[in-house]
Amino acid sequence: MNIEKEEMVQNCAFLFPGQGSQYPGMGKELYENFSEAKEIFELANDALGYDLASLCFSGSEEELRQTEKTQPAILTVSVAAERVLRKHGFKPIVAAGHSLGEYSALVSANAIDFVDAVKVVAKRGRFMQEAVPEGVGAMAAIIGLDSAKVEEICSRMSPEGKVTLANYNSPIQNVIAGEKLPVQRAIEEAKKEGAKKTVLLPVSVPSHCEMMRSAREKLSEELDKIPVNDLGFPVVSNVDSKENQNGDAAKQNLKRQVTTPVRWVESVERIAGKVDTVIEVGPGKVLLGLVKRIKREMICLNVEDLKSLEKTLSSLKS
Protein backbone atom coordinates (compact mmCIF):
# COMPACT_ATOMS: atom_id res chain seq x y z
CA MET A 1 0.00 0.00 0.00
CA ASN A 2 2.98 2.32 -0.30
CA ILE A 3 3.01 2.68 -4.07
CA GLU A 4 3.50 6.27 -5.21
CA LYS A 5 1.30 7.47 -8.06
CA GLU A 6 1.10 10.53 -10.20
CA GLU A 7 -1.83 12.53 -8.88
CA MET A 8 -4.96 12.32 -11.00
CA VAL A 9 -8.32 14.02 -10.72
CA GLN A 10 -10.90 11.43 -9.75
CA ASN A 11 -14.56 11.83 -10.69
CA CYS A 12 -15.66 11.89 -7.06
CA ALA A 13 -16.35 14.22 -4.15
CA PHE A 14 -14.57 14.25 -0.79
CA LEU A 15 -16.86 14.77 2.21
CA PHE A 16 -15.38 15.74 5.57
CA PRO A 17 -17.15 14.98 8.87
CA GLY A 18 -17.92 17.37 11.69
CA GLN A 19 -18.21 17.16 15.46
CA GLY A 20 -19.85 13.98 16.72
CA SER A 21 -17.87 11.63 14.47
CA GLN A 22 -14.99 11.25 16.93
CA TYR A 23 -14.13 7.96 18.63
CA PRO A 24 -11.16 6.61 20.65
CA GLY A 25 -8.48 5.15 18.37
CA MET A 26 -9.35 7.24 15.33
CA GLY A 27 -6.47 7.78 12.92
CA LYS A 28 -4.11 5.34 14.67
CA GLU A 29 -3.71 2.89 11.79
CA LEU A 30 -3.06 5.67 9.28
CA TYR A 31 -0.49 7.23 11.64
CA GLU A 32 1.33 3.92 12.06
CA ASN A 33 1.39 3.04 8.37
CA PHE A 34 1.84 6.29 6.42
CA SER A 35 4.48 8.95 6.92
CA GLU A 36 2.12 11.54 5.39
CA ALA A 37 -0.45 10.90 8.11
CA LYS A 38 2.18 10.85 10.85
CA GLU A 39 3.49 14.22 9.67
CA ILE A 40 0.01 15.78 9.98
CA PHE A 41 -0.32 14.57 13.58
CA GLU A 42 3.14 15.87 14.43
CA LEU A 43 2.29 19.27 12.96
CA ALA A 44 -0.87 19.34 15.06
CA ASN A 45 1.01 18.38 18.23
CA ASP A 46 3.49 21.20 17.68
CA ALA A 47 0.83 23.77 16.77
CA LEU A 48 -1.41 23.01 19.75
CA GLY A 49 1.28 22.41 22.36
CA TYR A 50 -0.05 19.04 23.53
CA ASP A 51 -0.08 15.43 22.32
CA LEU A 52 -3.16 15.37 20.10
CA ALA A 53 -2.10 12.01 18.66
CA SER A 54 -2.30 10.35 22.07
CA LEU A 55 -5.69 11.96 22.67
CA CYS A 56 -7.00 10.51 19.40
CA PHE A 57 -5.45 7.07 19.85
CA SER A 58 -5.95 6.40 23.56
CA GLY A 59 -8.04 9.24 25.00
CA SER A 60 -11.40 8.50 26.59
CA GLU A 61 -14.73 9.31 24.95
CA GLU A 62 -15.23 11.99 27.60
CA GLU A 63 -11.91 13.67 26.74
CA LEU A 64 -12.70 13.53 23.03
CA ARG A 65 -16.05 15.25 23.65
CA GLN A 66 -14.38 18.42 24.97
CA THR A 67 -15.24 20.81 22.15
CA GLU A 68 -11.93 22.67 22.22
CA LYS A 69 -10.10 19.37 21.61
CA THR A 70 -12.73 17.56 19.55
CA GLN A 71 -12.57 20.03 16.71
CA PRO A 72 -8.79 19.95 16.08
CA ALA A 73 -8.81 16.17 16.61
CA ILE A 74 -11.40 15.54 13.88
CA LEU A 75 -9.71 18.03 11.55
CA THR A 76 -6.35 16.31 12.04
CA VAL A 77 -7.65 12.79 11.43
CA SER A 78 -9.55 13.98 8.36
CA VAL A 79 -6.57 15.76 6.82
CA ALA A 80 -4.33 12.77 7.62
CA ALA A 81 -6.76 10.50 5.74
CA GLU A 82 -6.90 12.99 2.87
CA ARG A 83 -3.11 13.04 2.63
CA VAL A 84 -3.09 9.24 2.37
CA LEU A 85 -5.60 9.37 -0.49
CA ARG A 86 -3.44 11.99 -2.19
CA LYS A 87 -0.39 9.73 -1.72
CA HIS A 88 -2.22 7.10 -3.72
CA GLY A 89 -2.81 9.56 -6.52
CA PHE A 90 -6.40 10.65 -6.00
CA LYS A 91 -7.95 14.10 -5.71
CA PRO A 92 -11.63 15.09 -6.06
CA ILE A 93 -13.32 17.46 -8.46
CA VAL A 94 -15.44 18.91 -5.63
CA ALA A 95 -15.62 18.70 -1.83
CA ALA A 96 -17.78 19.64 1.11
CA GLY A 97 -17.61 19.40 4.88
CA HIS A 98 -20.31 19.28 7.51
CA SER A 99 -19.86 22.28 9.84
CA LEU A 100 -16.32 21.82 11.23
CA GLY A 101 -15.63 19.61 8.21
CA GLU A 102 -15.67 22.64 5.93
CA TYR A 103 -12.25 23.55 7.36
CA SER A 104 -10.93 20.11 6.35
CA ALA A 105 -12.37 20.61 2.86
CA LEU A 106 -10.61 23.98 2.53
CA VAL A 107 -7.30 22.49 3.68
CA SER A 108 -7.76 19.75 1.07
CA ALA A 109 -8.39 22.42 -1.59
CA ASN A 110 -5.14 24.19 -0.55
CA ALA A 111 -7.03 27.28 0.56
CA ILE A 112 -5.92 27.16 4.22
CA ASP A 113 -2.63 25.90 5.59
CA PHE A 114 -3.19 22.94 7.92
CA VAL A 115 -1.31 24.52 10.84
CA ASP A 116 -3.41 27.70 10.58
CA ALA A 117 -6.57 25.59 10.39
CA VAL A 118 -5.83 23.42 13.41
CA LYS A 119 -5.07 26.48 15.55
CA VAL A 120 -8.21 28.28 14.42
CA VAL A 121 -10.58 25.35 15.00
CA ALA A 122 -9.20 24.86 18.52
CA LYS A 123 -10.13 28.49 19.21
CA ARG A 124 -13.45 27.98 17.40
CA GLY A 125 -14.29 25.20 19.84
CA ARG A 126 -13.34 27.34 22.83
CA PHE A 127 -15.28 30.37 21.59
CA MET A 128 -18.37 28.23 21.01
CA GLN A 129 -18.14 26.73 24.49
CA GLU A 130 -17.71 30.17 26.07
CA ALA A 131 -20.64 31.69 24.14
CA VAL A 132 -23.34 29.91 26.14
CA PRO A 133 -23.08 28.85 29.82
CA GLU A 134 -23.24 25.12 30.58
CA GLY A 135 -26.83 23.88 30.71
CA VAL A 136 -28.38 26.92 29.00
CA GLY A 137 -28.33 25.68 25.41
CA ALA A 138 -29.34 22.42 23.75
CA MET A 139 -29.63 20.63 20.42
CA ALA A 140 -31.99 17.87 19.36
CA ALA A 141 -32.43 15.65 16.32
CA ILE A 142 -35.94 15.23 14.95
CA ILE A 143 -36.46 12.26 12.66
CA GLY A 144 -39.54 11.61 10.54
CA LEU A 145 -40.71 15.17 9.85
CA ASP A 146 -39.73 17.34 6.91
CA SER A 147 -37.87 20.61 7.40
CA ALA A 148 -40.92 22.81 6.76
CA LYS A 149 -42.82 21.15 9.60
CA VAL A 150 -39.81 21.42 11.95
CA GLU A 151 -39.41 25.11 11.09
CA GLU A 152 -43.08 25.66 11.85
CA ILE A 153 -42.73 23.92 15.22
CA CYS A 154 -39.71 26.09 16.07
CA SER A 155 -41.66 29.24 15.22
CA ARG A 156 -44.34 28.22 17.73
CA MET A 157 -41.73 28.17 20.50
CA SER A 158 -40.75 31.83 20.12
CA PRO A 159 -42.74 33.07 23.16
CA GLU A 160 -40.75 30.66 25.35
CA GLY A 161 -37.30 31.39 23.98
CA LYS A 162 -34.99 30.93 21.01
CA VAL A 163 -34.96 27.71 18.98
CA THR A 164 -34.25 27.36 15.27
CA LEU A 165 -33.42 24.69 12.70
CA ALA A 166 -29.63 24.25 12.75
CA ASN A 167 -28.89 21.29 10.45
CA TYR A 168 -30.88 20.29 7.37
CA ASN A 169 -29.28 16.84 7.42
CA SER A 170 -31.65 14.75 5.29
CA PRO A 171 -35.22 15.00 3.99
CA ILE A 172 -36.52 13.54 7.27
CA GLN A 173 -33.68 14.28 9.72
CA ASN A 174 -33.27 17.78 11.06
CA VAL A 175 -31.44 19.20 14.06
CA ILE A 176 -32.73 22.11 16.12
CA ALA A 177 -30.71 24.35 18.44
CA GLY A 178 -31.38 27.04 20.99
CA GLU A 179 -32.28 27.57 24.61
CA LYS A 180 -32.81 24.35 26.54
CA LEU A 181 -36.46 24.78 27.58
CA PRO A 182 -37.87 25.67 24.15
CA VAL A 183 -35.79 22.90 22.57
CA GLN A 184 -37.37 20.41 24.98
CA ARG A 185 -40.83 21.84 24.25
CA ALA A 186 -40.17 21.58 20.51
CA ILE A 187 -39.32 17.91 20.98
CA GLU A 188 -42.67 17.31 22.63
CA GLU A 189 -44.47 19.17 19.85
CA ALA A 190 -42.60 17.14 17.21
CA LYS A 191 -43.76 13.91 18.84
CA LYS A 192 -47.36 15.14 18.71
CA GLU A 193 -46.89 15.97 15.03
CA GLY A 194 -45.79 12.41 14.27
CA ALA A 195 -42.00 12.43 14.52
CA LYS A 196 -40.68 8.86 14.42
CA LYS A 197 -37.85 9.67 16.83
CA THR A 198 -36.49 12.62 18.76
CA VAL A 199 -33.09 12.71 20.43
CA LEU A 200 -31.76 15.36 22.80
CA LEU A 201 -28.12 15.45 21.72
CA PRO A 202 -25.33 15.07 24.31
CA VAL A 203 -23.86 18.54 23.64
CA SER A 204 -23.83 21.74 25.66
CA VAL A 205 -23.16 24.05 22.71
CA PRO A 206 -26.18 25.04 20.57
CA SER A 207 -24.32 25.32 17.26
CA HIS A 208 -25.47 27.13 14.11
CA CYS A 209 -27.89 29.54 15.75
CA GLU A 210 -27.90 33.14 16.94
CA MET A 211 -26.80 32.08 20.44
CA MET A 212 -23.34 31.70 18.85
CA ARG A 213 -23.13 35.41 17.97
CA SER A 214 -20.24 36.16 20.34
CA ALA A 215 -18.35 33.09 19.08
CA ARG A 216 -18.81 34.31 15.51
CA GLU A 217 -17.39 37.72 16.38
CA LYS A 218 -14.30 36.27 18.10
CA LEU A 219 -13.75 33.70 15.36
CA SER A 220 -14.02 36.37 12.69
CA GLU A 221 -11.10 38.21 14.27
CA GLU A 222 -8.98 35.04 14.24
CA LEU A 223 -9.88 34.20 10.63
CA ASP A 224 -8.87 37.69 9.57
CA LYS A 225 -5.34 36.96 10.84
CA ILE A 226 -4.74 34.04 8.46
CA PRO A 227 -4.53 33.88 4.66
CA VAL A 228 -7.27 32.02 2.82
CA ASN A 229 -6.21 31.46 -0.78
CA ASP A 230 -8.32 30.74 -3.83
CA LEU A 231 -9.31 27.08 -3.88
CA GLY A 232 -7.71 24.39 -6.04
CA PHE A 233 -11.15 22.86 -6.63
CA PRO A 234 -14.69 23.91 -5.65
CA VAL A 235 -15.96 23.47 -2.09
CA VAL A 236 -19.70 23.54 -1.52
CA SER A 237 -20.40 25.90 1.38
CA ASN A 238 -22.65 25.02 4.33
CA VAL A 239 -24.28 28.44 4.42
CA ASP A 240 -25.65 28.58 0.87
CA SER A 241 -24.91 25.14 -0.66
CA LYS A 242 -23.09 26.81 -3.55
CA GLU A 243 -19.76 25.89 -5.10
CA ASN A 244 -17.00 28.36 -4.37
CA GLN A 245 -13.35 28.73 -5.36
CA ASN A 246 -12.73 32.28 -4.11
CA GLY A 247 -10.61 32.57 -0.96
CA ASP A 248 -12.24 35.74 0.37
CA ALA A 249 -15.70 34.23 -0.07
CA ALA A 250 -14.57 31.03 1.67
CA LYS A 251 -13.43 33.06 4.69
CA GLN A 252 -16.74 34.92 4.87
CA ASN A 253 -18.62 31.62 4.65
CA LEU A 254 -16.66 30.27 7.63
CA LYS A 255 -17.62 33.35 9.63
CA ARG A 256 -21.30 33.11 8.72
CA GLN A 257 -21.38 29.37 9.32
CA VAL A 258 -21.22 29.69 13.12
CA THR A 259 -24.67 31.29 13.39
CA THR A 260 -26.41 29.92 10.29
CA PRO A 261 -27.78 26.45 9.56
CA VAL A 262 -25.91 23.69 7.74
CA ARG A 263 -27.71 23.12 4.44
CA TRP A 264 -26.51 19.58 3.95
CA VAL A 265 -29.42 18.28 1.85
CA GLU A 266 -28.94 21.01 -0.75
CA SER A 267 -25.15 20.56 -0.62
CA VAL A 268 -25.41 16.84 -1.39
CA GLU A 269 -27.92 17.49 -4.16
CA ARG A 270 -25.51 19.95 -5.77
CA ILE A 271 -22.63 17.47 -5.52
CA ALA A 272 -24.82 14.72 -6.99
CA GLY A 273 -25.18 16.88 -10.08
CA LYS A 274 -21.44 16.60 -10.69
CA VAL A 275 -20.34 13.14 -9.51
CA ASP A 276 -21.77 9.71 -8.75
CA THR A 277 -19.22 8.75 -6.07
CA VAL A 278 -18.60 10.34 -2.66
CA ILE A 279 -15.84 9.48 -0.21
CA GLU A 280 -16.16 10.37 3.46
CA VAL A 281 -12.62 11.28 4.49
CA GLY A 282 -12.09 11.10 8.25
CA PRO A 283 -13.57 9.38 11.30
CA GLY A 284 -16.87 7.54 11.05
CA LYS A 285 -19.51 7.18 8.34
CA VAL A 286 -22.16 9.61 9.57
CA LEU A 287 -22.18 11.60 6.34
CA LEU A 288 -22.52 8.51 4.16
CA GLY A 289 -25.65 7.59 6.08
CA LEU A 290 -27.10 11.02 5.32
CA VAL A 291 -26.08 10.84 1.66
CA LYS A 292 -27.90 7.54 1.26
CA ARG A 293 -31.08 9.16 2.58
CA ILE A 294 -30.72 12.09 0.18
CA LYS A 295 -29.43 10.37 -3.00
CA ARG A 296 -29.74 6.60 -2.77
CA GLU A 297 -28.08 6.05 -6.14
CA MET A 298 -24.76 7.60 -5.02
CA ILE A 299 -21.76 5.29 -4.60
CA CYS A 300 -20.58 5.79 -1.01
CA LEU A 301 -17.04 5.02 0.16
CA ASN A 302 -14.92 6.13 3.11
CA VAL A 303 -11.34 6.32 4.38
CA GLU A 304 -10.63 6.20 8.11
CA ASP A 305 -8.39 3.12 8.58
CA LEU A 306 -6.55 0.48 6.55
CA LYS A 307 -9.59 -1.65 5.76
CA SER A 308 -11.68 1.24 4.47
CA LEU A 309 -8.70 2.62 2.54
CA GLU A 310 -8.11 -0.69 0.76
CA LYS A 311 -11.80 -1.00 -0.13
CA THR A 312 -11.97 2.55 -1.45
CA LEU A 313 -8.78 2.28 -3.50
CA SER A 314 -10.00 -0.96 -5.01
CA SER A 315 -13.31 0.66 -5.96
CA LEU A 316 -11.66 3.75 -7.44
CA LYS A 317 -9.31 1.66 -9.56
CA SER A 318 -12.06 -0.52 -11.00
Indicate which residues carry an active-site annotation: 99, 208
Query: CA-CA distance, 49 to 52, in Å (whole number)?
Result: 9
CB-CB contact of 218 with 240 (8 Å) = no
Distances (CA, A) of 288 to 24, 73, 302, 313: 20, 20, 8, 17
Question: At a CB cut-off of 8 Å and minimum separation 6, what does 152 contact?
Answer: none
Strands 235-236 and 197-200: unpaired
Beta strands in the chain (DSSP E): 8-9, 13-16, 90-91, 94-97, 137-143, 163-170, 173-179, 197-200, 235-236, 243-244, 277-281, 299-303
Question: At a CB cut-off of 8 Å and minimum separation 6, what does 121 contact?
Answer: 71, 72, 75, 100, 103
**Which residues are 277's β-sheet partners?**
299
**Virtual torsion, Cα 97, 298, 270, 278, nearest 10 deg:** 30
Q: Got the DSSP string for 251-284?
A: HHHHHHHTTS-B-HHHHHHHHHTT-SEEEEESS-
Angle at 167 between CA 102 and CA 17, to 5 degrees: 35
Query: CA-CA distance, 212 to 162, in Å (whole number)?
Result: 12
Closest C-alpha among 100, 96, 76, 125 to residue 18: 100
Closest C-alpha among 318, 309, 235, 279 to residue 36: 309
Query: CA-CA distance, 58 to 26, in Å (whole number)?
Result: 9
The DSSP code for 26 is T
